[in-house]
């Protein structure tokens, strides 16, 4: 299994300037709690009928936690990730991530905050089919101020660490499901996000690939990367450091 050396201290080449924390929002808590979800709610309307997809969720997540989120279909798991990821607007409540209250960030600044602080991993990988593995990862850094050469170096290093050093120029259609998912993990890591949000990342892969993805998540978590994983798979959940259960939009912390 690839060693995850990428985030190790002293690897100066890959480091980016230290993230500034807004201590006024999180205070001392900011040191150990990377994220706080406070009374987060989402109500969709189907015609005039309200659908309470998430009800008053409160979660505190410590830096480096690998958090599993389980619940029946339609219970609100993807809604929770979409709200944390600022892909949907909350009906009520707050998401404070890495010192920033995401629910008060003006619409036009959301894409840059999202790019800087959040890494997404999806069930269907969502890679760009016409780009190589390397280009898919490098693309996610294109809006940062990192020069192209460094972006390519970092993308290459990430892919190598994920065991894809000999697949850099392969297009997604030339990669297996597990390889595509590892490219998407590299892409999610590219901008050193405060949190990775993974929605059923092992939903499409065989059990061997699933196990290798869990191992990558665990290694990243041990190095301080915070990861939230929505899963239907008890084998994934049992490897996580904590489990949240969600039923009808209500969260229970195990
Ligand atoms: N855009 C939307 N408009 C209306 N209702 C929605 C919308 N998105 C989600 N819902 C409803 O919100 C509830 C929660 O949906 P969500 O996608 O979060 O479930 P989930 O737990 O991720 O389910 P699954 O395991 O099937 O992916 C469901 O009842 C769903 O029908
Ligand atoms: Mg879902």
Dump pLDDT digits (tens) for 135-149. 999 999 998 888 999
Q: At which residue do the structure tokens 């505190």 appear?
A: 60
User: What are residue 186's phi and psi, to 5 degrees?
Assistant: -60, -45
Q: What angle do CA 8, 184, 223 make, to 5 degrees?
A: 20
Q: Is the domain 63-84+107-253 a CATH 3.40.50.300 member?
A: yes
Q: At which residue do the structure tokens 């999806």 appear?
A: 122
Dump pLDDT digits (tens) for 171-207. 999 999 999 999 999 999 999 999 999 999 999 888 9
Whole-number Å distance, alpha carbon 52 to ligand 1 midpoint, is 9
**Residue with CA at minimum distance from ligand 1 atom 28:** 74
Q: Give the ligand whose atoms come closest to the C-alpha of residue 45.
A: 1
Whole-number Å distance, alpha carbon 70 to ligand 1 midpoint, is 14
CA distance 128 to 121: 14
Decide: 76 in ligand 1 pocket, CB within 6 A. yes
Decide: 77 in ligand 1 pocket, CB within 6 A. yes
Q: Are 194 and 98 in contact (CB under 8 A)?
A: yes
Binned at pLDDT 50, 70 and 90, residue 14 comes out as very low
Q: Are 60 and 36 in contact (CB under 8 A)?
A: yes
Question: What pTM did the predictor assign?
Answer: 0.87
Q: What integer pLDDT is reported at residue 145 of this predicted model? A: 83
**Residue with CA at minimum distance from ligand 1 atom 16:** 76
What residue segments make up the domains of the chain, in order of their start?
Answer: 63-84+107-253
Whole-number Å distance, alpha carbon 199 to ligand 2 midpoint, is 7
Pairing relation of β-strands 49-62 and 226-230?
unpaired
- Strand spans (E) along 76-152: 92-97, 100-101, 118-122
Whole-number Å distance, alpha carbon 87 to ligand 2 midpoint, is 14
């Amino acid at each position: 299994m690839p060693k995850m050396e990428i985030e190790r201290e002293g690897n100066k080449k890959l480091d980016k300037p230290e993230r500034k924390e807004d201590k006024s929002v999180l205070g001392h808590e900011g040191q150990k709690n990377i994220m706080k979800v406070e009374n987060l709610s989402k109500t969709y309307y189907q015609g005039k009928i309200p659908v309470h997809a998430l009800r008053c969720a409160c979660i505190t997540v410590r830096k480096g936690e690998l958090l599993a989120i389980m619940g029946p279909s339609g219970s609100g798991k993807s809604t929770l990730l979409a709200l944390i990821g600022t892909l949907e607007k909350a009906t009520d409540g707050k998401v404070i991530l890495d010192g920033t209250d995401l629910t008060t960030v003006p619409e036009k600044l959301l894409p840059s905050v999202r790019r800087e602080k959040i890494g997404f991993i999806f069930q269907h990988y969502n890679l760009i089919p016409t780009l190589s593995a390397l280009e898919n990862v490098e693309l996610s850094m294109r809006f940062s101020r990192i020069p192209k050469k460094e972006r390519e170096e970092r993308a290459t290093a990430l892919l190598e660490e994920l065991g894809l050093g000999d697949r850099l120029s392969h297009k997604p259609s030339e990669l297996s499901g597990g390889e595509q998912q590892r490219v998407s993990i590299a892409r999610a890591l590219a901008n050193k996000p405060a949190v990775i949000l993974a929605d059923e990342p092992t939903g499409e892969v065989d059990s061997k690939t699933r196990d290798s993805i869990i191992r990558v998540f665990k290694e990243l978590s041990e190095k301080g990367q915070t990861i939230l994983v929505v899963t239907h798979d008890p084998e994934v959940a049992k490897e996580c450091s904590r489990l949240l259960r969600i039923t009808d939009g209500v969260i229970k912390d195990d």
